[in-house]
Amino acid sequence: MDLDWSEADAAFRDEVVAFLDEKLTPDLRQAGRLMTSVYSEHEASMEWQRILHERGWAAPAWAVEHGGCDWSQTQHYIFSRESILAGAPSLSPMGIRMVSHAIAAFGTQEQKDFFLPRILTGEVFFCQGYSEPEAGSDLASLTMAAVDEGDDLVCTGSKIWTTHAAEANWMFCLVRTSKHAKKQQGITFLLIDMTTPGIEVRPLVMTSGEQVQNQVFFDGVRVPKSNVIGTIDDGWTVAKYLLVFERGGAAAAPALQVMAESAGKAAAGVPGPDGRPLIEDPLFSAKLAEAKIRTKVLEILEYRTLSAMASGKDPGPASSMLKVLATELSQKLTEITLEAAGPRGRVYQPHAARPGGPIAEFSEPAGGYVSGEQWQAVAPLRYFNDRAGSIYAGSNEIQRNILAKAALGL
């Protein structure tokens, strides 16, 4: 594996950097820098998507005929890496990185013609209706019913932990259309217009105070069968295909390296237990050094996966391995940053950040006063949000089971 970029890739990197330097406004960079979770502030995210769409780079992983880019695997990685390093806000993955691929692979021509252009422009904004109160990691146990009534499926039940359901105008959803001995059968992949009568969205207030997640209730919601992706009762096939895109495809190491460097700079400016800068405390510096080493290891693993994919090889269980390493390392770095924040990190100051959703029952102090530095105010929000990192996109326990079977043969 050659770790040096080719001349063509280096030229592409320079093109990306120049574009980011020109188009990332100070406000957009701030929105990226002050994210409190994997989700950017909604308005900033949509503005950045608009700018990328003008350049033709909003959905580079799509097929060219649908608006994607004819990039190599290396170029995709470079674009992801440089965007993170430049502080660009993230785009919502639900439409561009997830359901769009299912629509392109399993949808009818009419579905492709309607949804794909509108996902690119942001006119259609999706949320994901998978988890239920009794079906999370064991998703095939879902029970939300969709009863066949002529040209419609009538949906009754609920979905939970639904990110940005309050902002979305469409949901891609797994519903139970029939019961079989094997629970993966009888599931249908359905697109639901969120303005349909009978839908109620109730926000869930997270420990950070943000209202990004929701529970969505369906009471006799009529959905045309023309909104089924694939075939009725075979939605599990579509869901498995989509899961590949949910767990992979972006560079995680650069963001963690930025986080580690920021933690080190912060620790150099705050006192440790003996009064000297915290960065000089042996215990703290050892934890930070270990985390930095692990970010480099993760980067090499991402390069190895990239190399395999670029040469046409199946990376195998690499997506599960990278998901475990990246999310657990991110959690460790938020712990380190919170430690560096000290007492200032205990103060609840969401107004100093750019959260991914509304803040519940919080009144901003007069004049927007912030106790301490901005990074100290953001640290606890990131800490609380990152606790979910080892659960979403398939819990890390599930990923370890996959690795045990696929890599170790257990």
Give tens-digit pLDDT for 247-268.
555 678 888 998 999 999 999 9
Residue in this structure with the two tokens 């993230």, named with its chain if needed: 90
Any idea which residue has 């009725």 for tokens?
232
Mean pLDDT of 214-223: 98
Fold assignment, 252-406: Butyryl-CoA Dehydrogenase, subunit A; domain 3 (1.20.140)
What's the chain's length in residues?
A: 410
> What is the average pLDDT score of the chain?
91
Cite the DSSP H helix spans in 248-370: 253-267, 282-310, 318-341
Output phi, psi for 349, to 5 deg.
-135, 65
Mean pLDDT lowest for which of 2-6, 116-120, 216-220, 285-289? 2-6
Reading phi first (left if > 0) and then psi (alpha if -120 to 50, else beta), residue 149 is in beta
Give the span between the Cα atoms of 131 and 139, in whole angstroms: 7
Third-level CATH fold of 126-238: Butyryl-CoA Dehydrogenase, subunit A; domain 2 (2.40.110)
* CA-closest candidate to residue 210, choices 37, 85, 81: 37
pLDDT at 305 over 90: no
229 versus 299: which is more confidently predicted?
A: 229
Nearest alpha-carbon partner for 209 in 349, 303, 342: 349
Distance CA 231, CA 262 (A): 49
Mean pLDDT of 22-34: 96
Q: Give the pLDDT of residue 241.
A: 86
Question: d(Cα 68, Cα 62) in Å, to the nearest integer?
Answer: 4
The rounded distance, in Å, linking the Cα atoms of 296 and 302 is 10
Distance CA 342, CA 9 (A): 42
Nearest Cα to Cα of residue 210 among 348, 336, 95, 341: 348
- Closest by Cα among 163, 143, 159, 158 to 90: 163
Q: Where are the domains positioned within the chain? A: 7-91, 126-238, 252-406
The pLDDT > 90 percentage for the chain reads 70
223 - beta bridge partners? 153
Q: How far apart are CA 232 and CA 195, in angstroms?
A: 23
pLDDT of residue 368 exceeding 70, the answer is yes
CA 98 to chain centre: 10
Same fold, 126-238 and 252-406: no
pLDDT at position 246 is 62
Q: Calculate mean pLDDT across residues 306-329.
A: 81
> CB-hemisphere CA count at 13 Å for 60?
19
Dihedral sign, CA of 85, 91, 94, 100? negative
Q: Is the pLDDT of residue 410 over 90?
A: no
pLDDT at 221: 98
Q: Is the CB of residue 125 less than 8 Å from the CB of residue 43?
A: no
The predicted-structure confidence for 65-123, as pLDDT tens digits, reads as follows: 999 999 988 898 899 989 988 999 999 999 999 999 999 999 999 999 999 999 999 99
CB 266 within 8 A of CB 219: no
Which long-range contacts link 78-83 to residues 24+ away (Cβ below 8 Å)? 78/5, 78/9, 78/12, 78/13, 78/16, 79/16, 80/249, 80/250, 80/251, 80/254, 81/251, 81/254, 82/13, 82/16, 82/17, 82/20, 83/16, 83/20
Distance between terminal CA atoms of the chain?
A: 29
What confidence score (pLDDT) does residue 20 get? 98
Tell me how far apart the alpha carbons of residues 345 and 338 are, in angstroms, rounded to a whole number.
Answer: 6
Judged by average pLDDT, the poorest of 210-219, 306-315, 347-356, 392-401 is: 306-315
Q: Say how far apart CA 39 and CA 354 lie, in whole Å.
A: 10
Q: According to the model, what pLDDT value does residue 3 have? A: 60
pTM, rounded to two decimals: 0.87
| CA-angle at 348, arms to 343 and 354, nearest 5° | 120
Q: What Å distances lie between residue 311 and 271, 306, 308, 315, 319, CA to CA?
A: 50, 9, 5, 10, 17
What is residue 245's predicted lDDT score, i.e. its pLDDT? 67
Looking at residue 185, its pLDDT comes to: 92
CA 290 to chain CA centroid, nearest Å: 25
